Every structure is written in C-alpha cells, then in structure tokens.
Amino acid sequence: MSIQQLETIERTTSDNPTHSIIWLHGLGADGHDFEAIVPELGLPESVNYRFIFPHAPFQRVTINNGQVMRAWYDVQTAPIDKQDDIAGITDSSNALMGLIEQEIERGIAAENIVIAGFSQGGAIALTTAMRYHTKLAGVMALSTYLPVQDTYPEMSHDANRETPIFMAHGSVDETINFMIGEKSHQKLLSMNYPVEWHNYEIGHGIGPQELGDIREWLLEVLG
C-alpha cells in the first residue's frame, strides 16, 4: 500500500483550516461513513477545522469468507485481537503517517492534528500514535483495541507518550467485545499513557452521549 492509493474525502468548517482531524472508518465501510458527523459535532466556527476521511483499500478479509471489501488489514479469526495481520497493520499505519505528513506540508502544525478511528480504523489510529515521531494533539479510538500488544513498549516512540487519548466502547458491543477494549485500555495505562476512558450501554456504534463527549474532548485538545 502506498499513500497515493488512499483516496480521501475532505470537509472543512470554514476557509483556511488551522486544525486537522483525520478519521478512519471501520471494516467494510468507507470514508463517507463518518462524513455526516461533522455538522453533528457542532464545533465552534471560531476555529477552522479540516476533517479528512480516507478510504481503506479493497482486500480479501479471511473472517468474512475471503470477501473483498475495504479494510485496513486482514482479520483471520475471532476474537479479533488474536491473530494480528502485522504487515497489513504496518502498511495502514504508514499510510496514515503519510496523511499526517501531508497536513504538515499544507501548513497544519502537528500539535493541531488529531488522528481518530472507529473499530479497525481506531486500531490503526492507536498504532500510529504510538509509533509516530512528532507530538500530535490527540488520539481518538472508538469501539476498538490496540493490536500487536506484545510489541510494546519496545516499538513505541516517546514523542506521543503524553498525548491525550480518548477511548470509548459499548458495553454490549457484539463485534469487538467490551473486554478486548478494556484490556487495551489497561495496557495503555500500564505504559503511563494518558487515557480518558468512556463506556456506554450501546453496541458497535456511536451514541448521542458519546458524540457529546467526543465534542468536549475535541474542544479541549484542539482549543
């Protein structure tokens, strides 16, 4: 995978953005999945935001009978955190780093960039934040988990050791079990990452209360 292969959708809240939020979708979805969330967040017009929603590439997904769909990496079996597709995760993480670098080249300071993701996209966001060499504004990981946990802390970079992390998970999530998310939460805490943890009585999705908490967190980390 190369960064040129990642098509993106962009939405801005006003002209001349000064802050960027790169938001990755989940397995089988595409960049349009969270496009409608921009107006729903109700962010203030006083800050100029650019939302970037990349499309994952198409690939075969083993757990879905080899069906071709948009995916950030292959999933071989359940539970999802057992047989990590290390090569696929690394490729997608590198592609996300490319998008971050692109925003920096466009004049957005790294400390004004949030990387976010839902489900598979959240796994890539977490992985990338831990590996990235420059401090970011924050990381948002929704209904997800930290993959390849046994490679940390050795594979992590200290640049984002103090970067705020927003993690949220539904207590009745039927796709990524709540305890998988909680295990990742505890792993991050054990490495002294500043994690703000939320759980909601919902399944694999984003509810109204969560949306409000996301808004407040974004306002805090992006000013």
CATH number at residue 191: 3.40.50.1820
pLDDT band at 152 (very low <50, low <70, confident <90, very high): low
Euclidean distance between the first and final Cα of the chain, in Å? 34
CA distances from 188 to 55, 105, 138, 164, 204 (A): 27, 30, 14, 11, 21
Q: How many domains does the chain have?
A: 1
119 is catalytic: yes
Counting residues of the chain whose pLDDT is more than 90, the rounded percentage is 83
Question: What separation in angstroms does the CA of 154 have from each of 63, 131, 140, 165, 188?
Answer: 29, 10, 22, 19, 13
Given 85, 173, 184, 185, which residue is catalytic?
A: 173
Q: Would residue 2 show up in a list of annotated catalytic residues for this protein?
A: no
Residue 207 is predicted with a pLDDT of 94
- Report the pLDDT value the prediction gives residue 213, as an integer from 0 to 100: 98
* Inter-residue contact 116 to 100 (CB < 8 Å): no
Residue 88 Cα distances to 112, 123, 207, angstroms: 27, 12, 29
- Average pLDDT in the chain: 92
Quick one: which of 64, 13, 66, 15 has its CA closest to 42?
13
156, 157, 198, 204: the active-site residue: 204
CB within 8 Å of 123: residues ≥ 6 apart = 72, 73, 89, 117, 141, 144, 145, 146, 147
Tell me, yes or no, if 55 is annotated catalytic.
Answer: no
Marked catalytic residue, from 119, 143, 184, 185: 119
Question: Is 2 a residue whose pLDDT tops 70?
Answer: no
Contact of 174 with 148, CB cutoff 8 Å: no
Smallest CA-to-CA distance from 187 within 140, 153, 138 is with 153
Q: What is the span of the domain harbouring residue 93?
A: 3-222
Answer whether 0.75 is exceeded by the pTM.
yes
Per-residue pLDDT at 153 exceeds 70: no
